[in-house]
Structure 1
Amino acid sequence: MFDKKSAISLSNPIYKRRQVFNRLMLGVSFAALIFGLFWLFWIIWTLIEKGSSAMAWSLLFESTPPPGGQGGLLNAIVGSVMMAGVGTLIGTPIGILAGTYLAEYGQRGWLAPATRFLNDVLLSAPSIIIGLFIYAVYVAQVGHYSGWAGALALAILVIPVVVRSTDNMLMLVPNGLREAAAALGCPKWKIVMSISYRAALPGIVTGVLLAVARIAGETAPLLFTALNNQFMSLNMNAPLANLPVVIFQYAASPFEDWNRLAWAGAVLITLLVLGINILARSLFRQK
């Protein structure tokens, strides 16, 4: 008869080898965790240490100053909110509808797998490529930089994130719910609207929030599309100030006051992204 006690005894060489290997891998995993957290906290501490000197109410209520002057980042914050908002409004419906087709209507044929593959490619594409694309098809045609061009670049970055999250969340909805509604004579579009969307809503909204967090700090596409504006402007058809580009330009400048504003802007973006991620994981957490 099999002796269970002897199987888990240290005298058993197989059990002893597995126990040593298990402890070794746990130690390596814990060391990797500490290594990653060390750099994360170092980055956050550096941001707070460098940016705290410029953190003041004027940062939110005054426009970017000339070298040696006093000011804040109001025009850059307003421009970023405008372009991110328009980009989200453009990209979210497209992403949700595309994800809905993939999950609800694309079970057969080659189109859905090919679309998922291309969406994954777009999801991992460097953002500077998106900026160059919008520059070629829009900025170069109209002859000037603008907030609309920046919003279009950000919308293209939003779409693959929303497509992926919508597709994944709808695929998790049990088919039994759809079949029960179909058995009662419910048309396909109403099944999607009343059952699939309702069940997957927390995941879809989370994907949209994560897309907003991604575009909040994108600099490369805005350099080729919206560029920057030293003054307060609400005109989306002209160069528009934005926080990522201001941080890039001020951090590379030789002026110490601009360097401090760059660090403060980096703190603002970090807090924004952190807040959006916390909101996405807590507000729509399944009870």
Structure 2
Amino acid sequence: MYSVYQRRRLINRVIMGFCIAAAAFGIAWLLLILWSLVVKGGAALSLSVFTERTQMNGGGLGNAILGSLIMTALGTLFGSIIGVAAGTWLAEYGGKSRLASAIRFINDVLLSAPSIIVGLFIYAVVVLQTGHFSGWAGALSLTVIIIPVVIRATEDMLLLVPNTLREAAAALGAHRWWVVTRVCYAGARAGIVTGILLGCARISGETAPLLFTSLNSNQWNFFDLNSEMPNLPMTLYQNMTINSFIPRQVELAWAGALLLTVAILLLNIVARVVSRQRG
């Protein structure tokens, strides 16, 4: 009997050792990537990075940063409105109906769909129809990407609200819409906001859909969403491929990569903080 326990302890220690080694291997590469970003990106940071526009001889990333903020904000706004509304219908009204089941299946497919497919779709239905790239097309592609994330978060969080709260509000004579907006949303608010923030973090660094929708620009034209829109992911891609022979462009690419990483990290931290709050 003792030998059986001893063998189990040995197997447990071996498996735990492999797990720790695998985790350490992944964390080591992550730390190496972060270290490279901090060293190379931090050295290239300056005030001109935020105030000057992109140019062939260097310049800055000001227009690209603002363009990315505008398209990400629009995508998050539109996606949140549609996602929360759809998730609410699935949780509170759809139930197990065929339509609700079909929507859930389509939503699951969209969650795992490559972002470049979304970009090609918007390119076919928007860019080809209008005849030009635009900031609206870029924001629309980001909207399509964030919608399934918000739908899933909204539905899951609303389903966690106890039915006794709904029944208590209904017993007092409250209408269904009042129960949903005042009772259910209050209990699921933290989870829904967390889902929106995580979706925003996902779309903020997307490059593939913008390649087919907004493309890029080196001008301060972020107020004109009907034309090509400057954005940070595309600028980094071009600086590290097309303009890789220009040292200053490569430095700006590292600086932009660091800014994107920090922004996504902050969004994830805020999402974690919000998720710990009670509705």
TM (normalized to structure 2)?
0.95
**How far apart are the structure 1 equivalents of 2:261 and 2:170?**
46
Select which of 93, 97, 119 maps to 1:109.
97
- Cα distance per residue 1:78-110 (max 9 Å; x no partner): 111111111111111100011111111122322
**How far apart are the structure 2 equivalents of 1:13 and 1:100?**
57
**How far apart are the structure 2 equivalents of 1:59 and 1:200?**
40
Q: Does 1:55 align with 2:21?
A: no
**Greater Rg by CA:** 1
Letter in 2 for 1:27: G
Q: Deviation of residue 158 (structure 1)?
A: 1.0
2:193–2:274: 8 Å Cα contact kept in structure 1?
no
**How far apart are the structure 2 equivalents of 1:174 and 1:185?**
18
**How far apart are the structure 2 equivalents of 1:22 and 1:286?**
37
Letter in 2 for 1:32: A
Q: Does 1:277 align with 2:268?
A: yes
Other-structure match for 1:38? 28
Q: Deviation of residue 215 (structure 1)?
A: 0.7
Other-structure match for 1:6? none
Q: Does 1:286 align with 2:274?
A: no
Other-structure match for 1:78? 66
Other-structure match for 1:177? 165
Select which of 217, 229, 234 maps to 1:240.
229
Letter in 1 for 2:157: M
Letter in 2 for 1:213: A
Q: Does 1:156 align with 2:144?
A: yes
Task: Name the SS for the 1:249 alignment partner.
Answer: helix
- Cα distance per residue 1:132-170 (max 9 Å; x no partner): 111100110111111000010010011011011111111
Select which of 117, 131, 136 maps to 2:119.
131
- Cα distance per residue 1:39-97 (max 9 Å; x no partner): 11111111112212211111111111222x4x210000111111111111111110001
Task: Give % identity.
Answer: 53
Task: Name the SS for the 2:166 alignment partner.
Answer: helix
Other-structure match for 2:11? 21
Letter in 2 for 1:229: S
Q: Deviation of residue 113 (structure 1)?
A: 2.3
Other-structure match for 1:263? 254
CA RMSD after TM alignment: 1.4
The farther-off stretch of 171-180 and 273-282 is 171-180
Q: Deviation of residue 180 (structure 1)?
A: 1.6
Segments of 5+ residues of structure 2 without an aligned counterpart are none
Letter in 1 for 2:30: L
- Cα distance per residue 1:171-224 (max 9 Å; x no partner): 111112112212222221111111110000001001111111111100011111
**How far apart are the structure 2 equivalents of 1:228 and 1:62?**
16
Letter in 1 for 2:270: L
**How far apart are the structure 2 equivalents of 1:125 and 1:229?**
27
2:134–2:213: 8 Å Cα contact kept in structure 1?
yes
The farther-off stretch of 45-54 and 15-24 is 15-24
Segments of 5+ residues of structure 1 without an aligned counterpart are 1-10
Letter in 2 for 1:100: T
**How far apart are the structure 2 equivalents of 1:242 and 1:159?**
21
TM (normalized to structure 1)?
0.92
**How far apart are the structure 2 equivalents of 1:197 and 1:65?**
47
Aligned pair count reads 275
**How far apart are the structure 2 equivalents of 1:143 and 1:37?**
46
Other-structure match for 1:93? 81
